[in-house]
Amino acid sequence: MKLTSMKQIGLISIVAAFGLVSGVATASPGHKPGEGHGPADDTAYGKPGDPKKPARIVQIVFREDDGKMLFLPNSLKVKKGEQIRFQLRNNGVLDHEFVVGTVEENLKHMKDMEKNPDMEHDDPNAKRLKPKATGEILWQFTKAGTFDFSCLIPGHRPAGMFGTIVVE
């Protein structure tokens, strides 16, 4: 009986260790396991959307053109309380990302990304896409104001990859 208990304890230890290792392996570089920088609750620019509620679909295309990096469209008007389903498509030849936030937060995070360029986003308000890939963000804009969306991969925002969301 004790041998079985020892085997069970060993197995539980292996499973627990595997779980910890898996958590580390799936965390984005630059983050501790379970620690993203995506919002869990209401922020200055809104909150994650509710998939059970209706949403307006907005398609955003990422691309490079003539030395510039672009979002098409690069401006959007939203009504306070409106939920948007961003359908994202990277038509470029480079990785790009889409991060919704305030201008101040995105500029601050852009500096963090310069120190850790391998950091990847897959948060409620951010998604990184490889070339020719698609993704989606569901977001509800709960407060009026002017907000930002940017690609925070080093060099991309300065090359023109940002846009404005006006919530009325």
Q: Is the dihedral of CA 95, 99, 103, 104 positive or negative?
A: negative
CATH number at residue 148: 2.60.40.420
**Residue-wise pLDDT tens digits, 141-151:** 999 999 999 99
Contact 125, 38 (CB under 8 A): yes
Which domain range does residue 147 map to?
47-167
Residues 82 and 158 in one domain: yes
- The dihedrals phi and psi of 158, each to the nearest 5 degrees, come to -60, -25
Residues 96 and 14 in one domain: no
Residues 26 and 52 in one domain: no
Amino acid at 80: K
The half-sphere exposure of 4 on its side-chain side, counting CA atoms within 13 A, is 1
Distance between CA atoms of 167 and 114, rounded to whole angstroms? 29
pTM given for the model = 0.75
Question: Residue 41's pLDDT band (boundaries 50, 70, 90)?
Answer: low
Q: Where are the alpha helices (DSSP H) in 36-142?
A: 103-115
Number of domains present in the structure of the chain = 2
**Residue-wise pLDDT tens digits, 76-125:** 999 999 999 999 999 999 999 999 999 999 999 999 989 887 777 778 99
**Residue-wise pLDDT tens digits, 4-18:** 444 433 333 333 333
Q: Provide, rounded to the nearest whole percent, the portion of the chain with pLDDT above 70.
A: 76
Distance between CA atoms of 127 and 121, rounded to whole angstroms? 5
- CA gyration radius, the chain: 19
DSSP character string of 25-40: HHSPTTS-TT--SS-S
Residue 40 inside a domain? The answer is no
The per-residue pLDDT for 155 is 95
Residues 72 and 110 in one domain: yes
